[in-house]
Amino acid sequence: MSAMDQDTGMFKVQQTIGSVLCCKCGVPMPPNAANMCVNCLRSEVDITEGLQKSIQIFYCPECGCYLQPPKTWIKAQWESKELLTFCIKRLKNLNKVKLKNAEFVWTEPHSKRIKIKLTVQAEVLNGAVLEQSYPVEYTVRDNLCESCSRFQANPDQWVASVQLRQHVSHRRTFFYLEQLILRHDAASRAIRIQQVDQGIDFFFGNKSHANSFIEFLRKVVPIEYRQDQQLVSHDVKSSLYNYKYTYSVKICPICREDLICLPSKVASGLGNLGPLVVCTKVSDNITILDPRTLRCAFLDARQYFRSGFRSALTSRQLVKYFVFDVEEPVGEATVGGQKYALSYVQIARESDLGNMFYVQTHLGQILKSGDQALGYDIYGANVNDDEMEKYRLSVKNGLPEAILIKKCYDEQRERKRGKPRAFTTKKLPMEMDESRGGRVDPEKMENEYEEFLRDLEENPELRFNISLYKNKDYQESETASMTDGEGAPTVPIEELLAELELSEEEEEGDDEEDMDE
């Protein structure tokens, strides 16, 4: 009785739910439209009648895909939401009932059986709603998909190939691009990957897979490409043509740390920038910086390939300098998350310490007296560039004697020589092709890969989009420090991923524990 009823003195009768007897077995029950209890209703009506209780599905053991008729292959992990959705869609006449719940029933993975427990609802006699659960068993049959079947019959039988090339004297761009491909799993559908001189070839079993891969490349590096096709076979009766497609992809030859002398038209289009500029970053855009004014500009692939200029000096021509004095910065700027400070520094070449001179640099925020730096010797370099020669003749005061590019940590790294790094990287399963394009020098590859690892240590922005893993052979020292001045930069442990690897013995042990349970 509520407080209001007590105040008014009224008596309220509590409502009760009555019960009736089942018309079949006489058991008391809550009333319903059929006047039957649940057990009798189920004995009279089976709402799962006409629904599929068993079905056969096809699975490709090579690529882990399931066949969605007629020709679509869907990739799904064991007992995942994608696999559950795929199994439910394969059932016919399920629209006659209302699906309330679906869940996997555990089966041995090697049994080639998938069981799902479905809970459905339907209206039965006189509008009564009946809910019932029933199992569905899927028989998994192994059947190679079209691309895997073609590869098994002949590994060289590809449909589309992407020939990725960059005409430079090193492979640092491909080392970085390899890590991006692994991070985004962009080459997972490649039938075969082959390493050649100045590039990599990717072979695909489907033209759409090659197009998707090229779209990925366009988002990470400036490229231009051309498509060619070759007729393989022709069916006259059905008018079907089979082609092999080849995509020739050319990566922009401008690399990070390159010195560029911009053509006059390009420089004027960028607000009279430079024309002596340094490339600080290459992604889908090229970031260039004037080291004497800290002005920057961005060029996309279309803008670059329209002019097609090349680097005047590359990282192969860097010279070591000793820093004797650093003046206070006269200006600061932030380009792409990287801070730069404009300063005058007194330097001398390692090969000529008696000849000291002042230059303007954008590295005033990290350089100090006693440091070493790498830069381009403009005064003594043999530059084979027409734009540089034109600029040399047009400038009254002459070109700067040197342009510093980055700080050098050779002395600090010399102390750590022979010790393993804290991180490691993965590699694509590439084959070496020595039949064409020249032979790749293993020693040169190793040295370039070492330079790439040093770039990752020095540049946090460079390793932002890739995955680095903990090195099992590395043991952290208690006296290890990570300072810019006292030691060479390293990758923090917090940025590294733990690579999970299960041995066959561990897997067998897990299977035995599951059997015991």
CA distance 17 to 140: 50
CA distance 349 to 323: 9
CA distance 362 to 292: 7
At 351 the pLDDT is 85
Angle at 351 between CA 349 and CA 357, to 5 degrees: 25
Q: What 3-state DSSP class applies to 209?
A: helix
Q: What 3-state DSSP class applies to 56?
A: strand
CA distance 452 to 446: 10
What are the sequence ranges of the domains in the chain?
Answer: 48-142, 154-251+418-434+441-471, 258-414
Query: What torsion, rounded to 10 degrees, do the Cα atoms 263, 268, 273, 276 define?
Result: 20
DSSP per residue over 248-310, as a string? Answer: EEEE-S--TT-EEE--HHHHHHTTS--SEEEEEEESSEEEEE-TTT--EEEEEHHHHHHH---
> Residue 51: what residue type?
L
Give the residues of the chain that fall short of pLDDT 50: 437, 478-485, 500-517
At 481 the pLDDT is 45
CA distance 106 to 86: 17
User: For the whole model, what pTM was predicted?
Assistant: 0.69
Residue 303 has φ and ψ, to the nearest 5°, of -65, -40
Place of tokens 């990282």: 315
The candidate with the shortest Cα–Cα distance to 371, out of 326, 339, 330, is: 326
At 506 the pLDDT is 45
At 25 the pLDDT is 84
